[in-house]
Structure 1
Amino acid sequence: MNPHPGTSKPLRVWVAETPGGLCADLVPLLGEAGCTVQCVATDDAPLPAVRVGDCDVLVLGIELPGPQALERLRRFESGRLSRQVPVIVVANRAELEYELPDAFDFLTLPVDARRLLAGVRRAASVARIEEQRLPPLEALDLILFQNYLVQHSGLHFDQRNLRILQHGLTRRMRALGLSSYRAYFDYLESFGEARQELKKLLGLLTVGETYFFRYLAHFEALRHQVLPELIARNRARRTLRLWSAGCSTGEEPYSLGILLRAHFPELREWDVRILATDINHQALNKARRGVYGSRSLRVTDPALISTWFEQRGSEYLLDESIRALVDFRYLNLQTGSYPDPGAGIADFDIIFCRNVLIYFRQATSRKVVEGLARSLAPGGSLFLGHAETLINLSRQFERASHERSFFYRLPAAPPTLEAPPRPPEPPVAPQTLPEVARARTTEADAPPAPARDAEQLYAEGQEAFNREDFAGARACFEKILAVDEQHPGAWVGSGFVHANRGAIEQARTCCEHALAADDLHAPAYFLKGLLLELEGHWLEAREEYRKALLIDMDFIMPRFHLGGIHERLGQGADARRELRNSVRLLERLPNEALVPLSGGLTREVFLEVCRDQLNQLPSS
């Protein structure tokens, strides 16, 4: 093996020993290749500190189960190892590959000697990881990745979710020691399948925060309407089939399982199966373990927590009877085959596919919805995210509703060929502002609501918006505006509801009403800036965020977004300053506090986001 590039010194490789004796195989192999090899952490000793200059490559042995392996996993996941030297992981569990996206390479036992030697050679030849300075993604490189990801996964990235793409790319580039997006694109094309690089990247692009019983109104519709009807319809054959498509870390399918067990005890005698699929192997592995933190249970009924979870320190282990209901599998909705009766992907009574279509272009979404429709049994129900609709995608479904939520349902029997096509379904966007105005009462019709009642309604509307009950939030804000047209908070709240559903013009009108009522209302300037940013008007958005901060210097959200705009404009020092200020303000908040106007993110989650953004920025 060639010596370290630019020197006559041999490569220095550390091998972290395992109980199974990893060093006995690898030390001679690497020594014969011309490396200077040191076996570390023998006899169950902890892994020593790894610093720049100690070695050129670390071969990290992880042998599960065992406390030694868990300690190494914790250290690796904290980033303390990969920030110092390239790390090649050798493990006895293949599924760990997608849990460790910061690894330079991942091998399973028995070790492929040729691949290990090639990996050590490549790892030692790349620039030091801590020296990487990764610029923002440029337009031409963005087009390359957009086309590749659409072709191979169906995921579409544009200005709405560009930050997610940038984060995933830079994290894999740092792990591989690649300093240009074009170099990583070449690597992705070469090793997308051979080394599962595409799946590793997708694992970083599709993990989103989720929690048990998210969109509680959907679960209420299931409990009180959909499931009772299904139980009556399927009573003769006593089967029930559910599919959580895009299940992430498992909270959604497990919520379905808890709902079935808690409220429909007669189903214990039925053949009940829940399929849960995702393209993120790391998320699927976490889901199978069934261990969650308190944040995942933040809207769950305490009675359900005490019944179906066992608390172990700060974590909660889901009951085995619920875990046994769910079958987790890998499936790419864009490239996978469904329905597939042979694989059990067919004849579902209920499909949840929430917040998945937002990643796809319309043509891909249409294809996915067609496959979901063919995978449903007649009369089956399809649940989408609140910001998603079947308008312009499919006319096969009937729109159904239950109190604060809606869903889609196939006809109980397929229509005949002679049947005329159904007219397009009505839009699901909220009422336009003129309609809201017409619905208001006059002072003669109803007395103004007391200020105390208005503020209580406003707080309830904010709370509903944070838990993604957008219909409930809109109702609260409209009640306020019906009697007080000068309430800026209610106008801004209505604007956020509209913006969340893509009704930008309606949101902008709400913003204008808020500023007309109070031209010193900081959230209105933040909303105005956010709408401009969504349309790509960065300079104009920057000015609106600055106005919000002039009024309220402790307003976290415009400061965070201002940092993002500075980053895109290449103003690294300004971006770092705003993110640091965001962290400082977040650290003042109490634990588990929700960040105002963040969409329901907790202080802990937002701190992690800000610190991650800071780590990606070049140091000044």
Structure 2
Amino acid sequence: MESLSLKRIAGLITANVGLRMRDTDLPHLAEVLRQRLKTCGCRDLDAYYELLVCDRASPAWRSQSMGLADASGLPPSEWHHLLTQLTINESYFFRDRNQFQLIAQRLLPEIIARKQQQHRAAADRGRPRLRIWSAGCSTGEELYSIAIALAELNFAWSEWDTLLIGTDISMKALTTAQLGLYGNWSFRQTDPTLQQKYFRPQRQLLRIREDIHQRVTFQYSNLVQAHDASTSTLLQEIDLILCRNVFIYFDDQAIAHTLTKFRHSLACEGYLITGHTELYGQDVGQFQLQVFPESLVYQRPLAAPSSAASPEQPKPAALGGQPSQMMRQPSARPLPQRSIPSPPLRSRSQLQSPPAKGQPIPSARSAMAAEAISEAAIATAKTSLFNKAYAQAIVQAQQLCTQDPNNFEAHVILARAYANTGQHHPAKDICKRALSLQPLNLDLHYLLAQIAEEEGDLDLAKEHLRRIIYIDNYEFQAYLDLASLYQQERRIDQVVKMERLALKTLNLLPEKTIVNPETGATVADWRQHLETKLAFNLPTSASPQSLPK
């Protein structure tokens, strides 16, 4: 009977807020409900279910749903207490470096220029409008990052009618966002120059600069439910919607419903950006896919998109004169890019092995020259890969593999280029060939784990990560990646176990070792983060978003 009551409440949660409640999530839900039963004084789960149903129509729910929680003077509804414990609210500034670079350097300038041109063409006496919505804004770092990006573009605030709005279902997260006060961990991907420029110390925290703080607004909103009249008025003609790392918690029906809502909210040619793999397998035919090296972007078209266009196989857009390039990242949580190890030098006997019949016998000098040419070609292919000229890198690496089937570096370059263009089958085949040359190579197992996650095969992704740990038990990042995969499955006990193992591994490494060259994060930084997280969040909270890129 208790199991049936638990599933009944799980269904009510999914129906009202879209949170996906799988069988693996039920133990965590049961633990949360046990705490809420004690607090509310409910005798059992059936009584708590009735409380939720009644609370759904309460004045507290309605006022807080309209963003009036503070003004109403009413105590928070039980739904808000429950959702605070079920949802994970952790974010940080300039999250996902590549996506944010795309937003700041390409999309925002394009939107601003287009809106200015439209305003002039309409001969409108008012100001041009800019509307940006962070849906599922958590504690507000994403929206403030957008405001900072606009400031860095010397955006003329006074000349525009601007709305930067963040919405979330967690009143606790929205309170933090409205305060604009953050600890050091929220700045783990932030350029120190920007941090000093836009934040002011306040005791042990940092406060967003007041002029930036005044540019944003935060409001309660449930993406699954219909907006109230005031919210619907605000969330119209949006130029850019950010909804990243939200859909991983939604069921398919809630995702489809929310996508339709987003399309209606977007202005023509407005953009939607999600996490890299969050819409995998979803019908996105109502949008036009724009392909960039950093990410796929969904755009509301001026006219209905052609049914002939396949959302699963978008036609890549050429950028900056480069060959057509794909843009789907292999993972929503990119693993660290490692340098490609140099292959061992071939022995003199190999260099001087007998040529094929009818071919001239090469001299030692000509063999050395051929080796130098090969190294130069590898360097060229690496440069193409680094510059995201994937089509070019594929051609160059294929030529090298044809010339020398045992060229390990060429295989790795080719596999990465295929993966970064969404061509998973050839990428996996190349990885297998390369592993036959170097079975213990960690890079290839990481890449295969990324591809498996992209394809939705989390069990296979976990298998590759376990192989990495077997090969090198000092690879603490693999434990954290496993924790992230278990988080997607809501297996909180396994998340905690993996984070403990990561911490145990870190304790074996020198404190000052830099483990993330981009941010300068050291073993000591990671150790402190995990110790704090495990101490305060056990057993009900763990977050893939807390893991540095």
Q: For 1:296-335, what aligned pairs fall within 5 Å after superposition?
A: 296-312=186-202, 314-335=204-225
Q: Secondary structure, in 3 states, of the residue corresponding to 1:234?
A: helix
Q: For 1:374-523, what aligned pairs fall within 5 Å after superposition?
A: 374-389=264-279, 392-401=282-291, 404-412=294-302, 423-427=309-313, 447-449=373-375, 483=400, 486-487=408-409, 509=429, 511-522=431-442
Q: Secondary structure, in 3 states, of the residue corresponding to 2:131?
A: strand
User: Is the contact between residue 293 and residue 327 of structure 2 (CA under 8 Å) also seen in structure 1?
Assistant: no
Alpha-carbon distance change, 609 to 424 in structure 1, aligned in 2, over 3 angstroms: same
Partner of 1:151: 15
Tell me if 1:554 matches 2:486: no
Deviations 1:96-124 (A, max 9, x none): xxxxxxxxxxxxxxxxxxxxxxxxxxxxx
C-alpha separation in 1, matches of 2:512 and 2:53: 40
Q: Secondary structure, in 3 states, of the residue corresponding to 1:265?
A: coil
TM-score by length of 1: 0.56
C-alpha separation in 1, matches of 2:31 and 2:185: 27
Tell me if 1:372 matches 2:258: no
Amino acid across the alignment from 2:114 = E
Tell me if 1:190 matches 2:51: yes
Deviations 1:288-310 (A, max 9, x none): 11112333233334443232211
How many residues of Structure 1 are paired with residues of Structure 2 in the alignment?
440
Q: For 1:42-191, what aligned pairs fall within 5 Å after superposition?
A: 146-158=10-22, 170=31, 173=34, 187=48, 190-191=51-52
C-alpha separation in 1, matches of 2:375 and 2:16: 55
Tell me if 1:218 matches 2:103: yes
Q: Secondary structure, in 3 states, of the residue corresponding to 1:248?
A: coil
Give 1:286 deviation, angstroms: 0.8
With 545-554 and 355-364 compared, the bigger mean Cα shift is at 545-554
Give 1:273 deviation, angstroms: 1.4
Deviations 1:587-616 (A, max 9, x none): 4464795579xxx99725444555578757
Q: Secondary structure, in 3 states, of the residue corresponding to 2:145?
A: helix
C-alpha separation in 2, matches of 1:526 and 1:594: 16
Give 1:154 deviation, angstroms: 0.9
Q: Secondary structure, in 3 states, of the residue corresponding to 2:408?
A: coil
C-alpha separation in 2, matches of 1:497 and 1:367: 29
Alpha-carbon distance change, 391 to 546 in structure 1, aligned in 2, over 3 angstroms: closer
Q: For 1:564-603, what aligned pairs fall within 5 Å after superposition?
A: 580-587=500-507, 588=509, 590=511, 594=515, 603=526
Partner of 1:134: none
Q: Secondary structure, in 3 states, of the residue corresponding to 1:334?
A: coil
User: Is the contact between residue 131 and residue 163 of structure 2 (CA under 8 Å) also seen in structure 1?
Assistant: yes
C-alpha separation in 2, matches of 1:446 and 1:524: 25
C-alpha separation in 2, matches of 1:287 and 1:479: 48
Deviations 1:408-438 (A, max 9, x none): 33234x56xxx975633453576999xxxxx
C-alpha separation in 1, matches of 2:392 and 2:136: 31
C-alpha separation in 1, matches of 2:389 and 2:530: 22
Unaligned runs of 5+ in 1: 1-137, 434-442, 462-470
User: Is the contact between residue 479 and residue 502 of structure 2 (CA under 8 Å) also seen in structure 1?
Assistant: yes
Amino acid across the alignment from 2:84 = G
Decide which of 336, 339, 353 is 2:226's aligned counterpart.
336
Q: Percent identity?
A: 25
Partner of 1:203: 84
Decide which of 359, 362, 371 is 2:252's aligned counterpart.
362
Deviations 1:372-404 (A, max 9, x none): 111122332222222244975343332335563
User: Which protein, 1 or 2, shows the higher relative CO under an 8 Å CA cutoff with sep ≥ 6?
Assistant: 2
Alpha-carbon distance change, 580 to 379 in structure 1, aligned in 2, over 3 angstroms: closer
Q: Secondary structure, in 3 states, of the residue corresponding to 2:283?
A: coil
Give 1:278 deviation, angstroms: 0.7
Deviations 1:347-392 (A, max 9, x none): 2222222232333233322221111111122332222222244975
C-alpha separation in 2, matches of 1:255 and 1:344: 21
Amino acid across the alignment from 1:272 = T
Alpha-carbon distance change, 377 to 390 in structure 1, aligned in 2, over 3 angstroms: farther
Amino acid across the alignment from 1:259 = A
User: Is the contact between residue 479 and residue 499 of structure 2 (CA under 8 Å) also seen in structure 1?
Assistant: yes
User: Is the contact between residue 465 and residue 478 of structure 2 (CA under 8 Å) also seen in structure 1?
Assistant: yes
Give 1:322 deviation, angstroms: 1.3
Amino acid across the alignment from 1:202 = L
Alpha-carbon distance change, 176 to 527 in structure 1, aligned in 2, over 3 angstroms: farther
C-alpha separation in 1, matches of 2:389 and 2:34: 41
Q: Secondary structure, in 3 states, of the residue corresponding to 1:274?
A: strand
Deviations 1:24-53 (A, max 9, x none): xxxxxxxxxxxxxxxxxxxxxxxxxxxxxx
C-alpha separation in 2, matches of 1:201 and 1:481: 53
Deviations 1:441-469 (A, max 9, x none): xx9999434699599879x97xxxxxxxx
